A and B are shown apart, each in its own frame.
Chain A
Amino acid sequence: NAGVTQTPKFQVLKTGQSMTLQCAQDMNHNSMYWYRQDPGMGLRLIYYSASEGTTDKGEVPNGYNVSRLNKREFSLRLESAAPSQTSVYFCASTDRGLSTEAFFGQGTRLTVV
């Protein structure tokens, strides 16, 4: 049981380049999330998808786009990377139910130079 799989684990981009972070879960969860984590800032919600077919902005959506491709997959795209997007990105998923546990991918360490 893989849980939540994120790719890639590490990435270095030049300013202005684009890339897509991939996330897939095999737990049949309804909701999926993208967070970024910066030192001292905790996890900040970028976008989330409450259910298949819906996406909503979180706290820090600027510079990002998302696609909920199907129930399993939720991708995050940086159209024109900026140094301020250097961060660790985590994908997560939850089932319905108020006490459900969130499962995370291992994270993507992105550096924009």
Chain B
Amino acid sequence: RKEVEQDPGPFNVPEGATVAFNCTYSNSASQSFFWYRQDCRKEPKLLMSVYSSGNEDGRFTAQLNRASQYISLLIRDSKLSDSATYLCVVNLSHLSGGYNKLIFGAGTRLAVHP
């Protein structure tokens, strides 16, 4: 079983739509969680960290459910510029002496159309 699994996508949505991405992770001792964004043929960049209490950054809301080992990302009022691949990331620092060890999901591609 993969450490991090995501919806395969792609998601094709019109501008203004709300879209949700899901992610599950297998290691219950995972320490921290993130969503990264990757544009075509570019390097991934941090979108937001995910906290147990849930957190919001503008149109983006991230949720974490440790009991279910489930992470989500909600994008409201989608823009054309949101088109990208969204990568779920889990930190297995407990397996590397407290140093960060980041494991990426396969990513979910989002295409927002006019």
CA distance A96 to B105 in the complex (A): 22
Q: How many residues of B contact A (CB 8 A)?
A: 28
Inter-chain pairs besides A45-B101, A51-B97, A104-B43, 8 sampled, C-beta below 8 Å:
A31-B101, A42-B106, A43-B104, A45-B104, A90-B43, A99-B49, A102-B100, A107-B41
Is the pair B49, A50 in contact by a Cβ cutoff of 8 Å? no
In the complex, how many angstroms separate the beta carbon of B108 from the nearest chain A beta carbon? 10
Question: Provided the pairs A99-B32, A102-B46, A104-B44 are in contact, do residues A42 and B100 lie with their beta carbons within 8 angstroms?
Answer: no
| A-B residue pairs in contact (CB < 8 Å), sample of 5 | A30-B99, A42-B105, A50-B97, A99-B49, A102-B89
A79 within 8 A of B: no
* Neighbour of A94 across the interface among B43, B44, B45, B102, CB < 8 A: B102
CA distance A50 to B96 in the complex (A): 7
Of A13-21, A33-41, A63-71, the segment with at least 4 beta carbons within 8 Å of chain B is: A33-41
- Give chain B residues whose Cβ lies under 8 Å from the Cβ of A97: 100
* Cross-chain pair count, CB within 8 angstroms: 69
- Give chain B residues whose Cβ lies under 8 Å from the Cβ of A99: 32, 49
* Neighbour of B96 across the interface among A42, A43, A48, CB < 8 A: A48
Q: How many residues of A contact B (CB 8 A)?
A: 30
A residues contacting B by CB (< 8 A) are 30-31, 33, 35, 40-45, 48, 50-51, 56, 59, 90, 92, 94-102, 104-107
B residues contacting A by CB (< 8 A) are 3, 6, 31-32, 36, 41-46, 49, 87, 89, 91, 93, 96-107
CA distance A98 to B32 in the complex (A): 6
- Give chain B residues whose Cβ lies under 8 Å from the Cβ of A100: 100
Name A45's closest neighbour in chain B (CB-CB): B103
- Give chain A residues whose Cβ lies under 8 Å from the Cβ of B101: 31, 45, 48, 50
* Neighbour of A56 across the interface among B31, B93, B96, B105, CB < 8 A: B96
- In this complex, the member of A33, A40, A56, A99 whose beta carbon has the largest number of chain B beta carbons within 10 angstroms is A99
CA distance A102 to B96 in the complex (A): 16
In the complex, how many angstroms separate the beta carbon of A90 from the nearest chain B beta carbon? 6
CA distance A101 to B93 in the complex (A): 14
